[in-house]
Amino acid sequence: MQKTLDSAVSSAPETDDVLLGSLSHELRRHLLFTLGRDEIDSDPGYCFRAAAITIRDRISRDWRRTRELLASSDTRHVNYLSLEFLLGRSLNNAIQNMDLDEPMRKALHRFGVQLEEVLDKEHDAGLGNGGLGRLAACFLDSCANLQLPVSGYGIRYEYGMFHQLIDGGRQVEAPDHWLRDGNPWEIERPEDTKRIRLYGRTERYVDDQGKPHSRWVESYDILAVPYDMPIPGYRNGTVNTLRLWKATATDAFDLGEFNAGSYTESVAQKNNAEQISMVLYPNDASENGKELRLKQQYFLVSASLQDVLANWVERHGEDFSEFGKKNCFQLNDTHPACAVPELMRLLMDEHQLEWDEAWKITTQCMAYTNHTLLPEALERWSVSLFGQLLPRVLEIIFEINQRFIAEVAEKFPNEPELLKRVSLIEEGHTPHIRMAYLSIVGSFSVNGVAQLHTDLLKSGLFADFDRIWPDKINNKTNGVTQRRWLSHCNPALRDLMNETIGRRWESDLEQISALAPLADDADFRKRWREVKNANKERLSKYVKQHTGVDFAPTMLFDVQVKRIHEYKRQLMNVLHVIHLYDRILRGETAGMVPRCVLIGGKAAPGYHIAKMIVKLINNVAGVINNDPRAHDLLRLVFFPNYRVSAMEIICPGTELSEQISTAGKEASGTGNMKFMMNGALTIGTLDGANIEIREKAGEENFFLFGLNAAEAQETRKSYDPNAIIAADPAIARVMELLEGGRFHESEPGVFGELISGLRSPQDQWLTIADLRSFIDAQDRVAKTYQDPDTWDRMSILNTAHSGWFSSDRTIQQYADEIWRVKPLTA
């Protein structure tokens, strides 16, 4: 035993037997000693923790080496700042990346547990809402895969994305205390704690040399304590770091209160400070302007910038001449936009730089990614709230604005309207700070996340800025990591591909195009179909387990999972399901293909309409699934608590991917890419990355429908949904079923707002305008599905042409065109 333990901590290569022996030994040691179990038992929860610690120990050597390499290298270092990292589970990813799948499986087997059972015990790290947070997680994975010097910075929320329950068809939110059983992946680093100021006021003073300055006084301070999570690369020895900050109180209690005998009250104040990192805000694509949210944003930004500056000073002293060249901060949307004035503040107030010098550095190292065109999602903070919480930061924003406006006035004389339009301060009854404009002015790069999105930014929302700085706005089409979203979540397909085209695609997804010729190979298609069917079986069991509904794997699996939002048009999907049900009731079933429709996603707790859409899906599902006439042709389910670990089972089993947003509204989408990789065919609009998906897959392998972005804008000018409904009998019958009360017998009127929205000429989402085209495209889907050879051929070609949508490609473009960094290897 002693010998095998030694081999586990040395770096000598281990033979299979030695590896199995040492893994078993380590698992046993952690069960007995780290976790204090009395005997070796097969409780999967404890086995999960033992396995995670075992893997973490094995990662830590590479982790330390990567940190040392980074600390001693002179290359530029990138810091990805994000309020969200939607990591999901880490154990399987770590096992696969360390190439320990087989031995870990065998070692656990010795304890009488299955690897899958153990993996299933891990809580999702749900520190994000949806696409934006998951993108940050895919990016970290790709940075580690490409061995780039990139660190993530975020918040260690005590409570992640809420748990969604369905009661009486309605969404109910429950807290997600994901840290309850501890987090085996994190390492606390109290020695790197930072102090954060809030409130107080600013004061002018003159220094020894007679220069005037401002300083922040009488602030209420809290502490930021870092917890590090390892981000292992794919079998390459690199382990990058995600640093998450937790808020705590300072030890210096209020002396006044202390002396007044309020010791306990004073200690209880700790709670106030800890609130800041208590809970993730569950709003996807909308802002609600709460003070606590601004505190979170500033807390993340200040702690992270102080951390980077402290490391700098340790190596270079107070010489900041190279700082801008050697550091980059990528802002994931405007949530961390305070980084611009905060870096100015730290450089000037804490490190005595002059404004011009500090501004040069700041604009050399900030880069901003925009994620949305929805006006309600553009962050604005009231000047008065901002000034109370961050008085010194506000002062700096005012000065940035003044200097910026003067610069524009010089460049574009006689355009007073332009100055008003681009001002960082929106004047009005209550003036607001425009965080997107602050980010643009303070950054050297501004990027959109799909070609259409970037084009729309340049021609619309940011047109003035594109005129001022023609080269600043650029495109970086999103991607997803093929490790998690194909290799790990779809092992059967991975094995089939590895057997036929080798495994280079796992770290270079363009290699997957070698599959394309196999689309014409009948034997290969048969095996492809067998894998899809097995994944449908797995999904069907999962659906049954969580909803009680039977999904028959012989039927077409039609899936829409994403946050519930009007622009994503889950409502249109339901209208199509009602249309199919109407056809069944009328006996018009010729050409229909049996379908199981799955819809899942969370609604923001305060988004009333989105919650009504959830209720409607559940009610329609209740009627259809209990009608024997529909049983063989149509089933509908609302899948509760959609999250990363659910998507890992859903996307391999999906055949039809619903990407049906109103054109011009979905910045990119990334769910669309996960489905494509796993061989689903897409039914979609010309929106976000769908356009690029269709280009790559070939238009004959994509079910296109609906208005494009320009047509949608044109349609809004004279939109008359009631006329469309009146002129199309099938649509009129759908509305009759919806309005007639069949889906809300016990609650008359519950869907009144949804119905009046559909019928309103003001309906931004143009659901009725696209419905006929959607129904026709769904008929083409049904027709194609009846010819399995054609369908499977199209399926293979979709996977084969998904190479562009790897986040490795996206990150390579960030590295080459924005960050200008190269891999860091020993």
The residue with tokens 């819809």 is 599
> Quick check: 230 binds ligand PLP (CB under 6 A)?
no
Residue selected from 70, 396, 559, 647 as contacting ligand PLP according to rule CB under 6 A: 647
562 is catalytic: yes
The residue with tokens 């309005």 is 739
568 is catalytic: yes
- The DSSP H or E segment spanning 789 is helix 788-800
DSSP 672: H
Q: Which of 30, 121, 568, 643 is catalytic?
A: 568
How far, in Å, CA of 294 to CA of 383, rounded? Answer: 12
- Residue 418, classified by CB atoms within 10 Å of its CB into exposed (0-12), middle (13-18) or buried (19+), is middle
Q: Considering the complex, what minimum distance in angstroms separates the CB of residue 452 from ligand PLP?
A: 14
Q: Output 465 or 703, the one with its CB closest to ligand PLP.
A: 703
* Opening angle at CA 709, ends 455 and 443, nearest 5: 25
Q: Which of 54, 477, 670, 784 is catalytic?
A: 670
How far, in Å, CA of 70 to CA of 327, rounded? Answer: 12
| CA dihedral of residues 384, 387, 389, 393 (deg, nearest 10) | 150
Report yes or no: 502 and 511 within 8 Å, Cβ to Cβ: yes
Looking only at residues 133 through 162 of this chain, which bind ligand PLP when binding is defined by CB under 6 A? 134
Site pattern 563..602 for ligand PLP (x: CB under 6 A): x---------------------------------------
Residue selected from 4, 670, 678, 799 as contacting ligand PLP according to rule CB under 6 A: 670
674 is catalytic: yes
Q: Output 488 or 643, the one with its CB closest to ligand PLP.
A: 643
Neighbouring-strand partners of residue 85: 127
How far, in Å, CA of 48 to CA of 120, rounded? Answer: 8
The residue with tokens 């409904």 is 725
Q: Which amino acid is at 101?
A: D
Q: Which of 434, 488, 563, 565 is catalytic?
A: 563
Scanning 363-371, 385-393, 665-673, 739-747 for contacts with ligand PLP by CB under 6 A, the matching segment is 665-673
Q: Output 295 or 562, the one with its CB closest to ligand PLP.
A: 562
Phi, psi dihedral angles at 225 (to 5 degrees): -110, 125
Scanning 231-239, 294-302, 640-648, 716-724 for contacts with ligand PLP by CB under 6 A, the matching segment is 640-648
> Quick check: 640 binds ligand PLP (CB under 6 A)?
no
Q: Which residue is nearest to ligand PLP (CB)?
A: 671
Neighbouring-strand partners of residue 238: none
Q: Which of 25, 674, 696, 744 is catalytic?
A: 674
Report yes or no: 282 and 83 within 8 Å, Cβ to Cβ: no
Q: Output 380 or 569, the one with its CB closest to ligand PLP.
A: 569
The separation between the first and the last C-alpha atoms of the chain, rounded to the nearest angstrom, is: 33
Q: Output 23 or 119, the one with its CB closest to ligand PLP.
A: 119
Q: Output 130 or 152, the one with its CB closest to ligand PLP.
A: 130
Residue selected from 103, 232, 671, 757 as contacting ligand PLP according to rule CB under 6 A: 671
Looking only at residues 545 through 564 of this chain, which bind ligand PLP when binding is defined by CB under 6 A? 562-563
Q: Which of 76, 371, 484, 696 is catalytic?
A: 371
- Residue 256, classified by CB atoms within 10 Å of its CB into exposed (0-12), middle (13-18) or buried (19+), is exposed
SS (HEC) of 357-416: HHHHHHHHHEEEECCCCCHHHCCEEEHHHHHHHCHHHHHHHHHHHHHHHHHHHHHCCCCH
> Quick check: 367 binds ligand PLP (CB under 6 A)?
no
Residue selected from 669, 679, 706, 757 as contacting ligand PLP according to rule CB under 6 A: 669
563 is catalytic: yes
> Quick check: 684 binds ligand PLP (CB under 6 A)?
no
How far, in Å, CA of 443 to CA of 434, rounded? Answer: 14
Q: Considering the complex, what minimum distance in angstroms separates the CB of residue 254 from ligand PLP?
A: 43
Q: Output 329 or 675, the one with its CB closest to ligand PLP.
A: 675
> Quick check: 644 binds ligand PLP (CB under 6 A)?
yes
Residue selected from 21, 44, 103, 130 as contacting ligand PLP according to rule CB under 6 A: 130
Q: Considering the complex, what minimum distance in angstroms separates the CB of residue 487 from ligand PLP?
A: 16
How far, in Å, CA of 123 to CA of 821, rounded? Answer: 34
> Which residues of the shown chain bind ligand PLP in the complex (CB under 6 A)?
130-131, 134, 562-563, 643-644, 647, 669-671, 674
The residues assigned a catalytic role are 371, 562-563, 568, 670, 674
